[in-house]
Structure 1
């Protein structure tokens, strides 16, 4: 058992701030050096924005990334750095924003991201993307929200059921019920209905694409179990799932693996999206 309160990743990870600073600096470098469209609006609200990094080829698969930050911090601009790996490999990299707690509820975040995903599908051709090859990825809170996108019934929004072909979740949360008893509920304000409704593990669709549940082997045990359990449940429903524990990595260092072409995490994502 962890000596820290459940899901208190910052307390459990000395030096986490240095990792976040590194991701921000690397992302600013990539924004300045790579062809991109920043702060593209997919709605009128301040958070309804995304950054697009086109592939080096046309009709490319699209990876939509959702940042972490405990549902209350960070921003899309801090997750640009993987574009230097994914774009040369033939994929569009999109970093999408969403409103943050405590001003925004989980319902607000999910509604914003669903709107953003619909915009990506409708506008994919305009930035060289293939609307039939949309994938979602996220870390930590973003991993949770990415899994909710993956389990959304898109037909209720007038879109194809298989709008999202696959998802990669890095240190995600798939069962929100335990967070009702954690410090995070001070800003999430979850009740049982909201927790279940936005827990991917309780909402596995009849038709599901492939998923990768990646987690650092040195993370808090709660995150390791969440990833292991969700991959098992997804597989139980007959859908392809990979549980990917990454040795010697923690909740923040694992994010850096998205910027290493030869990492196990990137290789798993390339296999999923069909890039090389």
Structure 2
């Protein structure tokens, strides 16, 4: 793992990514057409502070908020709407969250901006619900980092009023130090000190939400190591965590497993959400 540029950028790329993303785009258009959904729900003053909301089909038993990939500097929620139908069918509201991007904002400002979505999603999810619904944050790549940061910042975590009841962290980067020497830093603009300050791996605490840490078996050793280290830090702090190494999955095909009913990963997410509901009712 001596070459960060390979481990975090070039080594994660696959020839099939463009065609796979095109499939995701087409399926996302179909998800919107099938509905119901409420697109571009604002949660702050920035144009990027918006989420798409797909209500649960039938009685809602929880809400899943999803933060997309893009190394904190690209992509959009619209590409990933395809994940919503499978989770809506299992009784979840699904919110797909956009957030401000670097270099228009710093990474700390990005995370702070994203945090405003939590009360907004809770508010929309509560409409028509008899009881408060558990909220699970799911994120992929940069989105996993954001989800973990928001979980660690949850000021209600040690009480019975949990704002965040679970986290699914997929293929994330949680120690940002290696990125300083990569091309990603052209827009992230981190130095050693700011990279450390923006690394949730160094700030894991007790009383954090239960976690499912996920990484593809075919990802680079550095990405797999990042997930293993987060899982270890979470459990060392006395929190509940499970580590899922998805077979035959790379960085983007992993999302197929995530949103496929019957897949072992999908079933683990379902179990986390069920336990989050029990935690929220405690």
With the length of structure 1 as denominator, give the TM-score of the two structures.
Answer: 0.91
Q: Which residue of 2 aligns with 1:195?
A: 195
CA contact (8 A) 1:60 1:128 kept: no
Q: Counterpart in 1 of 2:260?
A: 260
Matched, 1:229 2:229: yes
SS state at 2:211 partner? strand
d(CA) in 1 for partners of 2:166 and 2:231?
13
- RMSD, aligned CA: 2.3
CA shift, 1:103, in A, is 1.7
1:70-126 per-position Cα deviation (integer Å, ceiling 9, x unaligned): 212111111111211111101111101001122222122111111111222233212
Distance apart, 1:160 and its partner CA: 7.5
Deviations 1:104-151 (A, max 9, x none): 221221111111112222332126596440110011111111111111
Shift of the 173–130 alpha-carbon distance from structure 1 to 2, 3 Å rule, reads farther
TM-aligned CA distance change 1:130 to 1:26, over 3 Å: farther
Q: Deviation digits for residues 1-59 of structure 1, max 9, x if unmatched? A: 59862300576322211121111111111011021100111122101110000002344
Alignment of 1:37-186 (within 5 A): 37-126=38-127, 128=129, 131-154=132-155, 162-186=162-186
The answer to whether the 8 Å contact 1:210/1:239 transfers is: yes
Give the number of aligned pairs.
273
Indicate the SS of the match to 2:82.
coil
Unaligned segments of structure 1, at least 5 residues:
none
Gaps of 5+ in 2: 276-282
Alignment CA distance shift 1:175-1:130 (3 Å) = farther
Name the CA distance, whole Å, in 2 between partners of 1:193 and 1:155: 28
Distance 2:60 2:68 in 1: 25
1:151-210, CA deviations, whole angstroms, 9 ceiling, x for partnerless residues? 114359xx9873111100110111111212222111111133432332221111221121
> Residue 175 of structure 1 aligns to a residue in which SS?
coil
**Structure 2 CA distance, aligned partners of 1:93 and 1:239?**
25
Q: Is the 8 A contact 2:27 2:82 kept in 1?
A: yes
| 1:236-275 alpha-carbon deviations (Å, 9 max, x no partner) | 1111111110111111111121221111221111000019
Match in the other structure for 1:271:
271
In the alignment, the residues of structure 2 paired with residue 92 and residue 61 of structure 1 have an alpha-carbon distance, to the nearest angstrom, of 6
Could you tell me whether the CA contact under 8 Å between 2:60 and 2:93 is conserved in 1?
no
Structure 1 position 231, deviation (Å): 0.4
- 3-state SS, counterpart of residue 43 of structure 1: coil
Partner of 1:208: 208
Alpha carbons of structure 1 residues 112 and 242: separation in structure 2 relative to 1, 3 Å? same
SS at match of 1:30: helix
Q: Is the 8 A contact 2:7 2:223 kept in 1?
A: no
Name the CA distance, whole Å, in 2 between partners of 1:164 and 1:44: 23
Structure 1 SS opposite 2:268: helix
